[in-house]
Amino acid sequence: MISLADLAAIREKMKDKVVIREGSAQTRVVVGMATCGIAAGARPVLNAFSEGVNKEGLTDKITVTQTGCIGICQYEPVVEIYEDGKDKTTYVKLTAEKAERIIKEHLIGGKVVAEYTIGAIEK
């Protein structure tokens, strides 16, 4: 027999796993996963983002998803972050380590990691 507290615990544990199906998150992290992106190492980046977002308990606010070729193949792996009411941020040449920093500073801290953005590279 489970108690009310047990019920609440199951609910909390499972909530993160089904919240993805609500599609209600406001911020979207989009990873370029075309042939160019995958070849450049987009997969570990994608995994780093989805694991990090889950670990920080942000699955109800942030969606991690893939997209096709963004068109700037020389800069892959490319990740774009869409936030409500803000300009889109485009990060380029990412790695799993860089992704962790973006999660901490940008997604949690709200401050764009300028040195990884396309603007920093192009200059």
Partner 1 sequence: MVRTHVLICGGTGCSSSKSEEIMSVMEAEIAAKGLSDEVKVVKTGCFGLCALGPIMIVYPEGTFYHSVEVSDVAEIVEEHFLKGRPVERKVYHEQNDADVHHATSLSETSFYKKQKRVALRNCGVINPEIIDEYIANDGYQALGKVLTEMTPEQVIDTILASGLRGRGGAGFPTGKKWQLARILVPDADQKFVCCNADEGDPGAFMDRSILEGDPHAVIEAMAIAGYAIGANQGYVYVRAEYPIAIKRLQIAIDQAKEYGLLGDNIFGTGFSFDLKIRFGAGAFVCGEETALMTSIEGNRGEPRPRPPFPAVKGLFGKPTVLNNVETYANIPQIILKGVDWFTSMGTETSKGTKVFALGGKIQNTGLVEVPMGTTLREVIYDIGGGIPNGKKFKAAQTGGPSGGCITAENLDVPIDFENLMAIGSMMGSGGLIVMDEDSCMVDIARFFLEFTVDESCGKCTPCRVGTKRMLELLDKIIEGNGTLEDIDKLEELANYIKSASLCGLGQTAPNPVLSTLRYFRDEYIAHVVDKKCPAGVCKNLMQYKIVEDKCKGCTLCARKCPVNAISGTVKNPHVIDPAKCIKCGVCISSCKFGAIIKE
SS3 string of 60-82? CCEEEEEECCCCCHHHCCCEEEE
Site for partner 1 in 63-92 (CB under 8 A): 63-68
The verdict on 27 binding partner 1 (CB under 8 A) reads no
Q: Using CB atoms within 10 Å of the CB of residue 23, give its burial: 0 to 12 exposed, 13 to 18 middle, 19+ buried.
A: exposed
| Residue closer to partner 1, measured from CB, 11 or 111 | 11
Contact set with partner 1 (CB under 8 A): 1-4, 7, 10-11, 13-15, 17-18, 20-21, 23, 25, 31-35, 38, 46-47, 50-51, 54, 63-68
